[in-house]
Amino acid sequence: MKKIISLTALVVGVMSLAHAQDSNSDNHQITVVVPNIALLDIEPGTAATRNFSSTFAQPTPLEAGEKIDNPDDNTDLWINYSSILPSAVTSRKVNVKASAIPDGVTIKVTAGAAAAGGAGTKGTSAGEITLSTSDQEIISGIGSVYTGTGISKGHQLTYAFDADDADYADLKAKSTAVTVTYTLVDN
């Protein structure tokens, strides 16, 4: 009997030392990583469809003393972008610049208001920009956003061309490829 009492006392003693590690709640951590994203493209997406020509023309009927006619505006292209801002950046912008523009010619570009679709803080157009070889802000105030992809998404681009009267003497008959570059940058 003493053995049973001793054994029982031992079991009770061990059980009192071994208390449960579980409770009615527990937790763990999940690390959520949101990447810094800054992507921009011009749509339609192939060089064959986004590269275009604009030709100044002789007026019709052809009459001596007339100025050449400006090409029609081009509204075929759209800027699409995706942006997730890093914590230290308050907004982004799109800059535009061009390679050398033919003497006597002015090329202007306008980014239209942001189209419907996508979500987030879309940018605001700066209005009409006269292209030069220096970066110029064309869209500002871009936050964390996606515009959607393709035509009719993002901002429609309108290109206008003019043979300047002030520089008309500098015009030369030739074909010149002008590269227009858009860059999404932090403010």
The Cα 83–Cα 121 span in angstroms is 9
Q: Is the pLDDT of residue 7 over 60?
A: no
**What does pTM read for this prediction?**
0.84
Q: 60 or 183, which is more confident?
A: 183
Model pLDDT for residues 106-156, shown as the tens digit of each residue = 999 999 999 999 999 999 999 999 999 999 999 999 999 999 999 999 999
Q: How far apart are CA 140 and CA 122, in angstroms?
A: 9
Select from 168, 87, 88, 182 the least CA-distant residue to 139.
Answer: 182
- Comparing C-alpha atoms, which of 160, 161, 155 is closest to residue 112? 155
> pLDDT grade, residue 89 (50/70/90)?
very high
Which pLDDT band holds residue 61 (cuts at 50, 70, 90)? confident
Give domain status of residue 125, yes or no.
yes
Burial of 51 (0-12, 13-18, 19+ CB in 10 A): exposed
pLDDT of residue 16: 57
Confidence of residue 10 (pLDDT cuts 50, 70, 90): low
Residue 36 belongs to a domain: yes
Q: Are 109 and 159 in contact (CB under 8 A)?
A: yes
The answer to the question of residue 138 being in a domain is yes
Q: What percent of the chain has pLDDT over 90?
A: 80
Q: How many domains does the structure of the chain reveal?
A: 1
Does residue 91 lie in a domain region? yes
Span 29-53, average pLDDT: 91
| Main-chain dihedrals φ then ψ at residue 24, nearest 5 degrees | -85, 5
Name every residue whose Cβ is closer than 8 Å to that of residue 158 and which is 6 or more positions away in sequence: 73, 74, 75, 109, 110, 112
- Provide the residue range defining the domain that includes 181: 31-46+68-186
From 160, 163, 167, 96, select the one nearest 133 (Cα to Cα). 96
Least confident residue range of 26-30, 49-53, 162-166? 49-53
Tell me if 170 sits within 8 A of 107, measured CB to CB: no
From residue 115, give the alpha-carbon distance in Å to each of 37, 146, 174.
21, 11, 37
Q: Is 170 helix (H, G, I), strand (E, B) or coil?
A: helix
